[in-house]
Amino acid sequence: AEAGGPRGTAPGQQLRALFYALPPAESSFRTVEEVPDYVEKSIPFFITFIGLEFAVSWIQKRKLPGRINDGISSLSLGILSRLPDVLFRSIDLISYIYIWNNYRLFELPWDSPWTWYLTLLGVDFAYYCFHRVSHEVNILWAAHQVHHSSEDYNLFTALRQSVLQKYTSWMFNLPMALFIPPSVFAVHLQFNLLYQFWIHTEVITKLGPLEWILNTPSHHRVHHGRNPYCIDKNYGGTLIIWDRIFGTFEAEDAKVVYGLTHPVNSFDPIMLQLRPLAHIWNTFWATPGFCNKLSVIFKGPGWGPGKPRLGLPEEIPVITGKEVPFNPPVPAYLNCYALVHFAIIVDLYTELLASISMLSQGTVLLRIGFIILSLASFGLLMENRSKAGILEIIRCLVFIGIYKLGYFRSQFSFLSYAYEV
């Protein structure tokens, strides 16, 4: 290999990619086209680690690390966030390559270890800046809050992502496009994201001296807390050094209660994406004065007329220790039904990813539309909404129609009849 090491993504390499442990010799590429899709190839490892987390949590505490409804909601949001990438190339790469091709000042060598390590720092610092701004600017928080909306904290939560966030994060990476090759950037953009998967867990406590440099499960638990001491802390992606430098670090102390300070109380992935935007819209028109209206959009989520930019700390709800997660009573059979049908949608989604190049745009749009309809229906079922059954009947009839017409197919042909049943 030109970079001095093996190419491709063998299982061992892919596993190490999850922990940012692939050295430059194994993860340097001349062109963007050669860069593997590390995220997609990590799906089997996501599933494996989720299963391992369940086993360890049961051994440690004799309880599972989450709930079916919240887990399906998180996975639904993860699928929803990836659907635009089925149709379009990542806006992060499109914008980066454009700046590189037209405005770069000089070109660092793509196969130099120094370029690799500099990009590691650059991508992580850009993530820190974007992440911090996403908590401190209301319109950006409306997108990012999706990731914080779970009241559980487990590896499912790591997959709970916003559809809209990627359309604001790209600009923070553009300064690197003036000198760092796109192929190197594309690798670290994925590694930074993958590293953040395994830190979303309670089964790992402390990691000793590594806590000083790396973002760890302990540090990230604080970031996901709604305790007053947790708010707006520990923004780092891979490294925790930026928080220590810029004064946003907080060590884990009192038991962390997870979720938003004002919970959304929904498992509907569409509602979780759109309700915060509706809140900003209503607040914008209800707030007097043009400057105040702009402040509603560009100041912190806790801002109001006469308050500091980020709001008043004393207005953050006090944690009593008696908080109960949103968990509507649902019959066990309905949870089982949602779980089975969600598994079918995951199968159809992964088959879509595998066959995208062979499908017409109309077929792709039809499949995406049905997946979105299904995820919304499951969310309403798990909330035990009165109209959920009607929507689910419609969804099942639509499924039968498009499945019979050949617009959907399973990766497992022997399950075709079972799916229809």
Per-residue tokens: 288:
């007097």
DSSP label at 386?
Answer: T
Could you give the CA distance from residue 50 to residue 156 in angstroms, rounded to a whole number?
7
* 45 CB-contact burial (10 Å; exposed 0-12 / middle 13-18 / buried 19+): middle
At 48-83, the pLDDT tens digits run 999 999 999 999 988 888 899 999 999 999 999 989
CA atoms within 13 A on the CB side of 303: 25
Helix (H) or strand (E) holding 294: helix 290-298
Q: What is the pLDDT of residue 90?
A: 78
Residue 137 is encoded by which pair of tokens?
């600017």
Q: How confident is the model at residue 8 (pLDDT cuts 50, 70, 90)?
A: low
**Sign of the torsion formed by the C-alpha atoms of 204, 210, 212 and 215:** negative
Distance CA 127, CA 173 (A): 8
Angle (nearest 5°) at CA 73 between 67 and 76: 140
Of 34, 37, 41, the C-alpha closest to 15 is: 41
- Pairwise CA distance, residues 96 & 339, whole Å: 39
Q: DSSP readout, 22-44?
A: --GGGS--SSGGGS--HHHHTHH
**Average pLDDT, rounded, for the chain:** 92
Q: How far is 241 from 226, CA to CA, in rounded Å? A: 22
Q: How confident is the model at residue 284 (pLDDT cuts 50, 70, 90)?
A: very high
Residue in 290, 345, 237, 29 with CA at minimum distance from that of residue 353: 345
Amino acid at 296: V
If you search the block for the tokens 């617009």, which residue do you land on?
407
| CA distances for 374 relative to 62, 74, 77, 369, angstroms | 33, 14, 12, 9
CB neighbourhood size of 207 (10 A): 14
Q: How many CB atoms lie within 10 A of CB 276?
A: 24
Distance CA 409, CA 160 (A): 26
Sign of CA dihedral 402, 404, 409, 414: positive
Provide φ and ψ at 299, rounded to 5°: -95, -175
- In which band, very low, low, confident or very high, does the pLDDT at 4 lie, cut at 50, 70 and 90? very low
What string of DSSP letters covers 73-140?
HHHHHHHHHHHHHHHS--HHHHHHHHHHHHH-S----TT-HHHHHHHHHHHHHHHHHHHHHHHHSHHH
* Distance in angstroms (rounded) separating the CA atoms of residues 421 and 407: 17
Share of the chain above pLDDT 70, in %: 98
* Per-residue pLDDT at 359: 87
**Confidence at residue 251, expressed as pLDDT on a 0 to 100 scale:** 97
304-320: pLDDT as tens digits:
999 999 999 999 999 98
Q: Is the dihedral of CA 272, 274, 275, 277 positive or negative?
A: positive
Coil vs helix vs strand at 305: coil
Q: Does residue 1 register a pLDDT over 50?
A: no
Rounded to whole angstroms, the Cα distance separating 182 from 240 reads: 25
User: Region 5-28: what's the mean pLDDT?
Assistant: 84
Q: Whole-prediction pTM value?
A: 0.92
Sign of CA dihedral 217, 219, 222, 224: negative
Whole-angstrom distance, CA of residue 259 vs CA of residue 150: 5
Break the chain into its structural domains and give their ranges.
11-246, 271-314, 332-405
- pLDDT over 70 at 5, yes or no: no
CA–CA distance, 43 with 411 (Å, rounded to integer): 15
Please tell me the predicted confidence (pLDDT) of residue 7.
Answer: 57
